[in-house]
Amino acid sequence: MAYGKSTERMRKVGPYGVETLPQVLVDVPAAPAGCRDSLVESARLHWHRADGGDPAALAEEFLAAHGLDLHDLARPAPHGPRVCGAALYLSAAAGAHLTGAPTTTPEPAPTLPDLAVVVYHHGPTRRAPADATTPWWLGPWTESWTPRQHAAAVDAVRAAIGRGDVYQTNLVGHAAARYTGDPLPALRRLGALPGARYGGVLTGDDWAIGCASPETLIEVRDGTLTTRPIKGTRPATAAGRTELLDSAKERAEHIMIVDLERNDLARIARTGTVTVEDLFAVRRWCDLWQAESTVRATAADGLGLADLLRATCPGGSVTGAPKRAALHQIADLEPVGRGASMGALGWIAPDHVDLGLTIRTAAADGENLHTWAGGGITWDSDAHAEVAEAAAKTAPIRATLAGR
């Protein structure tokens, strides 16, 4: 299969994985638009949970070793003239690992790393030709659970809420489909969907991730921390917009997550600086309306990348509240791991961090494409409505991957 990767010899770099010779950048989400055609890979780190250690600390150390010192995000350090920035991907399981939550659920795409950091500099690039030897074909989707099993999991969350174990838990389902041909054009189509603020592709050795996420997990610019949780979905019709705005259930679910995100930022912010803007603003993504809020704070002095990742990963809008209790329930109820979804993917620059939450995301391994979708469950959730909502979220993704 073709991933546009270099065929040149790869060199080991101590404990940090591999450093590669120049290769083509494939549209990393949140990378500067003016740089994308001139970015060349200079160093790469892959980490799996089985490797042990702290992925947040490894990412910060690796970036510092390659010219991006992110030990104090409030006061960016000077950087080398050849370093433009880096792609960073952290899986949902790696985020759960950072919190001490269970991560034993089997992964459907185990070739994907749990952490990938790729450093880039400017230079001449060469475009890898698409693999046109085999026509693109995408087979039928096989779900990781049936609608009945999904509905039963919703009822289990409601029972846990009734016992006082959690206030809300986000449930996510997975599906896989066999393919032949080159998956990169399909993943690029996904990244180009309307409203995909974090649209793009990240590739590795026999894996690729395509993202069409509209959701900001964490952004740091000029010492300001910003997260934009999305919670609440309806069809993008006039009636759907009115229904979303009038839904007491969706508003309560949304505000719970906004409170959780406020608490996450408060752990790494200057005291008293956390604010909420645009509460429950309704915006469009493809054929869906979504409710989004903006939470901001001023970064605490000495806040490094590792502490930023520990405080914000995994994102509250795809876990639940309280976060650790929700993660334990997720591990008990979801039949397979979340893979590339519900994690972090974006761009690390010398002067800012911009990571999207990997909703509306697909991944390719050597044989299958994988998608994930779900939603937040509260006491007022209806099991059949939650199953339908997850299907509505994944429908445009699957159609785009198939080329329809």
In angstroms, rounded to a whole number, what is the distance separating the alpha carbons of residues 269 and 56? 18
E strand map for 91-204: 115-122, 137-138, 142-143, 168-180, 198-204
- Spatial distance between the Cα atoms of 362 and 341, rounded to a whole number of angstroms: 7
Which residue has 């270099």 as its token pair?
Answer: 6
Rounded to whole angstroms, the Cα distance separating 269 from 301 reads 8
Q: Which two tokens stand for residue 171?
A: 């449930």
Determine the Cα–Cα distance for residues 202 and 220; give it in Å rounded to an integer. Answer: 21
CA distances from 324 to 1, 166, 319, 331 (A): 39, 9, 8, 11
Distances 230 to 25, 72, 264, 272 between C-alpha atoms, Å: 29, 28, 15, 24
CA neighbor of 84 nearest in space, from 349, 305, 346: 349
Compute the distance between CA of residue 92 and CA of residue 79 in angstroms, rounded to an integer.
Answer: 30
Q: Is 252 exposed, middle or buried (0-12, 13-18, 19+ CB in 10 A)?
A: middle
Question: Looking at the annotation, which residues are catalytic?
Answer: 215, 231
SS (H, E, C) 180-200: ECCCHHHHHHHHCCCCCCEEE
Pull the structure tokens for residue 33.
């638009």
Q: Two tokens at 210? A: 């395509």
Distance separating alpha carbons of residues 355 and 89, to the nearest angstrom: 9
Contact 308, 218 (CB under 8 A): yes
Report the distance separating Cα 357 and Cα 226, nearest Å: 13
Distance CA 209, CA 194 (A): 18
Q: What angle do CA 275, 268, 79 make, to 5 degrees?
A: 110
Strand partners, 175: 143, 371
